Structure 1
Amino acid sequence: MKARYKAIVDEYAAAIRSGNLPAGTQLLTHRALSAGKRISLATATRVYAELEAMGLVSGETGRGTFVRDISLPAGLGTDQHVVASDVLDLNFNYPSLPEQTELLREAIRSLAMTGDLESGLRYQPHAGRQNDRNTIASWLRNAGISPSADDVLIVNGAQHGLTIAVMGLLKPGDVVAVDALTYPGFKALATLYHLELAPIPVGSDGPDLNALRQICQRRRVRAIYTMPTLHNPLGWVLSHAQRRELALIARTFDLIVLEDAAYAFLIHRPPSPLACYAPERTVYVTGFAKNIATGLRVGAVVCPAHMRGALERAVRATTWNTPSLMVSIACGWIKDGTIRRLELMKRRDARQRQVIAREILGDGNGVSHPSSYFIWLPLPCEIRAERIVNRLMQQQISVSTAEPFSTSQNVPHAIRLALGSVSLDKLRLALTAVKETIEYEKDI
């Protein structure tokens, strides 16, 4: 009966998430559910209790059981949000080091004393000032690519880089191949610009490239969005062979490649970016949110010359230009080596946090890279992710289900743990609570 009970729970959960059972719908009484599904009254009661624990329904004494409004607030699913100060945030990553505040204070002082402040009051070129583009082009050589300054557009963070790529190069209705589990910010863009996402099955070491080829043979795919170096949320780093094959597929089917390198800095000496394998069709997007701080809204896009005009027009339509004061701070830190030092420290910090996670959660319990700031934690088949999330939130711990990351209809029961936003001591406390909550659910 346990398997039958879980199947009914999943049936209702799928109907609620898909909208087939909209918010406010009154569900069958416990007795009607028992009769309709040919289960005991106790089992029917347990089905509704499970749905309520998952946050999908609410029972009202004397009235019945109703579907809750589970629509996401605007902006949820991107890499920035605000949580209460007493909540331990394992939902979003905004890694920061204690010394960064003083670095910012010194940078502002230096800018005030020696920078051309007057220029910060005027419009800048859409793609950024030439000197700043030269500086960022030089910095990008550390990532394994060698763009000229003309190949670089300065943008307001990596998310803005993805936005201008979508706006400038794709049209509503275009099909974009994307990993079945992927960065929620791109899902949000796809919804906003009416793109159709074609999910690629994924494994522990990358997307199924044979499946991608079959998708392209069946569908008219316009682009592929990919994170080849430190995938979010699964943490893989594609091999040279996988990158060559992906580039070959892109050329065979004339795909635009949108390469997201937001977390690539955490990998020491990774394989060359896809922009090196298929430079004529790849838009390489990176930013300074993770290696410096999320408040520094500066990023870079590298693109082939034939795409540049469309992307510059998209910058003009969205922000006109990136604020020159923010760019000056980032470029100053590139020149004096601050960014290199911060990246080195954050690589060490991420590895330390992964060690703590393995100590507490156990080896083999989770999918991650030893240098990443997150862990993908599949749950035992009888445990529902929403129930874990709700129980943890009752303990003032915020984590994410698979829902924001999933691009297919089959949403796995898993949680993603972001490790980079709390102190090490609080991380230990939060991960211990995660482990104990899952163990508790196993015993129910």
Structure 2
Amino acid sequence: MTMWVPSLAEFSGSRYRAIASAIEAAIQAGELLPGERLPPQRRLADALGVTIGTVTRGYAEAERSGWVSARVGSGTYVRSKTQDNAVSLTFPADETAGVIDLSLSLPPPHPLRQSLLSEALLALSQSGAALARGVTYQESQGRREHREVLARWLNTLGMSLMADELLITQGGQHGISLALSTLLRPGELLAADALTYPGAISAAQQGHLKLVGIGQDSEGMRMDLLEAQCARQPPRAIYLTPEQNNPTGACLSAPRREQLVALARRHDIWLIEDGVQYLPAEQRGTPLYKLAPERTLFVFSTAKVLAGGLRIGVLRAPKSLHERLATGLRAQSWMVPPLMVDVVCHWINQAAAEKLLTWQTQELAERQQLAAQWLQGFTLSGRSHSSNVWLTLPEGSRAVELCDRLLQRGVKVSSAEPFCVGSTPAPQAIRLCVGAAADRSELIQALGIVAACLGERPLAPATL
């Protein structure tokens, strides 16, 4: 592929501004396309006969103007038209036909999901009360009878929650956004694991919040680093996924949970606990909403347990916040559509729903074992019943190049870049979602391709 090299003679001003202007012109003319990576700075500097510092300033100016986006450890890329200031979230598209997509954290497919949805829709279509609810306005926090059904179900899953604690949301992402917009004003500081869920990063950026990443290890967020951050500037809130970090799978240890709560109380910090990535009760620790109920908001969704398309979840919060949260929810969407809540409540009351979750728990354990077998000898981390596997690459390998190579061979995975908070350097690692494969046979096919690509000689790094 021919490297893009602009003619700076066409642009006035300093050399670095000419480079920025050339980037803008090339994007507008379609010479540089959304998602395309700009040439390495050293190579472009050599081609133009300028210093690398000039190119660096030119790229920075183009980024400041919103034309490109720099990714730590990866390069500088042309921004998509819809990217704005938020992290781009990847969704399946028609062009992925024939590709085994392991980039999204999804529950394993099962025909029971469609059957339970069909049964719920049929039952509701014959219920005059449900149809009446479906065409009228409801309370912003959700109908009490709906919250009671959801609370009973959550208790069967080992989550001790009461209906009066809950607000019904349009899924986990909505719950995170609602919590952030209620607790923090623009410009206030939010702390999170240095590698965390891209949706939380996106929500923080949409709210114009300052976001700081706290280093982590196999036991989750490091409390010594959090304490140092609190000494410099205490965050207004901390977002974390204590049961399994997304993407690494690290579980916040019991001692660190106690230390976190003590720090939060000492510095008056809100805690946003994301429990959307489901694990069986016996694999979960003591939830933060039990350790610090007065300052913890707990986010849960049906996405990883029932089906992502339902877009129904709950937000557990202290009663002192309920009025503010309800006001925020009304401002965003007035209410959650009651018809979809009725669908979920009907679904979870069926015996087949418990059967489906039992199957899913066992299936994910089997898929995790397959990943361990096929990728034996490589460094893996994750929970035994999770959809995600975090694979740290061998020394000398580059995640972006591996992702490109895998995609060429029909397998899509995620590199670390979307999970990086702020200026956190992207580790050379990839996330594979074993739950997303259509079945075990397809997963084995994908894992074989991953193993083969890992066994190949890494591509030589670009000269800088």
Fold-level match, TM-score > 0.5? yes
Per-residue deviation at 1:77? 4.8
What does residue range 26-425 of structure 1 map to in structure 2 within 5 Å? 32=46, 69=78, 74=83, 77-78=88-89, 80-82=91-93, 84-95=96-107, 96-114=109-127, 116=129, 117-266=131-280, 268-362=282-376, 365-407=379-421, 408-422=423-437, 423-425=439-441
1:106 aligned partner, one-letter code: E
- Find out whether 1:426 has 2:442 as its counterpart: yes
Q: Does the 8 A contact of 1:261 with 1:285 survive in 2? A: yes
Mean CA deviation greater in 296-305 or 368-377: 368-377
| Alpha-carbon spacing, 1:322–1:29, altered in 2? closer, same or farther (3 Å) | closer
Q: Does the 8 A contact of 2:87 with 2:201 survive in 1? A: no
SS at match of 1:188: helix
SS at match of 2:457: helix
- Once residues 273 and 396 of structure 1 are traced to their aligned partners in structure 2, the CA distance between those partners, rounded to angstroms, is 39
| Alpha-carbon spacing, 1:102–1:237, altered in 2? closer, same or farther (3 Å) | same
- Once residues 395 and 118 of structure 2 are traced to their aligned partners in structure 1, the CA distance between those partners, rounded to angstroms, is 50
2:169 aligned partner, one-letter code: V
- Once residues 345 and 90 of structure 2 are traced to their aligned partners in structure 1, the CA distance between those partners, rounded to angstroms, is 23
| Alpha-carbon spacing, 1:31–1:292, altered in 2? closer, same or farther (3 Å) | closer
- Once residues 258 and 164 of structure 1 are traced to their aligned partners in structure 2, the CA distance between those partners, rounded to angstroms, is 11
1:441 aligned partner, one-letter code: R
CA deviation vs aligned residue, 1:109-162 (integer Å, no higher than 9, x gap): 112223511221011111111100111122222454433322110010011011
SS at match of 1:263: coil
Mean CA deviation greater in 179-188 or 319-328: 319-328
Which sections of structure 2, spanning at least 5 residues, go unmatched?
A: 1-19, 27-37, 52-69
- Once residues 181 and 100 of structure 1 are traced to their aligned partners in structure 2, the CA distance between those partners, rounded to angstroms, is 31
Per-residue deviation at 1:380? 2.2
Q: Does the 8 A contact of 2:406 with 2:449 survive in 1? A: yes
SS at match of 1:259: strand
SS at match of 2:315: strand
CA deviation vs aligned residue, 1:223-266 (integer Å, no higher than 9, x gap): 00010112211112323322222111111111110000001344
SS at match of 2:242: coil
- Find out whether 1:439 has 2:451 as its counterpart: no
| Alpha-carbon spacing, 1:278–1:322, altered in 2? closer, same or farther (3 Å) | same
Taking structure 1 as the reference length, what is the TM-score of the superposition? 0.83
Per-residue deviation at 1:377? 1.1
CA deviation vs aligned residue, 1:9-50 (integer Å, no higher than 9, x gap): xxxxxxxxxx9x96767766689379999xxxxxxxxxxxxx
- Once residues 151 and 125 of structure 2 are traced to their aligned partners in structure 1, the CA distance between those partners, rounded to angstroms, is 25
Per-residue deviation at 1:269? 4.8
1:379 aligned partner, one-letter code: L
Per-residue deviation at 1:79? 7.2
- Once residues 440 and 72 of structure 1 are traced to their aligned partners in structure 2, the CA distance between those partners, rounded to angstroms, is 36
- Once residues 340 and 210 of structure 1 are traced to their aligned partners in structure 2, the CA distance between those partners, rounded to angstroms, is 41
Q: Does the 8 A contact of 2:249 with 2:382 survive in 1? A: yes
1:91 aligned partner, one-letter code: S
| Alpha-carbon spacing, 1:384–1:36, altered in 2? closer, same or farther (3 Å) | farther
Which sections of structure 1, spanning at least 5 residues, go unmatched?
A: 1-18, 38-55, 57-65
**Equivalent in the alignment of 2:60:** none
Q: Does the 8 A contact of 2:364 with 2:386 survive in 1? A: yes
Name the % identity. Answer: 33
Per-residue deviation at 1:192? 0.8
Per-residue deviation at 1:185? 0.3
| Alpha-carbon spacing, 1:372–1:125, altered in 2? closer, same or farther (3 Å) | same
Taking structure 2 as the reference length, what is the TM-score of the superposition? 0.79
Per-residue deviation at 1:103? 1.6
Per-residue deviation at 1:363? 5.2
Per-residue deviation at 1:375? 1.0
State the superposition RMSD in angstroms.
2.9
Q: Does the 8 A contact of 1:143 with 1:265 survive in 2? A: no
Per-residue deviation at 1:358? 0.8
Per-residue deviation at 1:293? 0.7
2:288 aligned partner, one-letter code: L
- Count of matched residue pairs: 401
| Alpha-carbon spacing, 1:229–1:162, altered in 2? closer, same or farther (3 Å) | same
- Once residues 362 and 242 of structure 2 are traced to their aligned partners in structure 1, the CA distance between those partners, rounded to angstroms, is 21
Mean CA deviation greater in 110-119 or 184-193: 110-119
SS at match of 2:213: strand
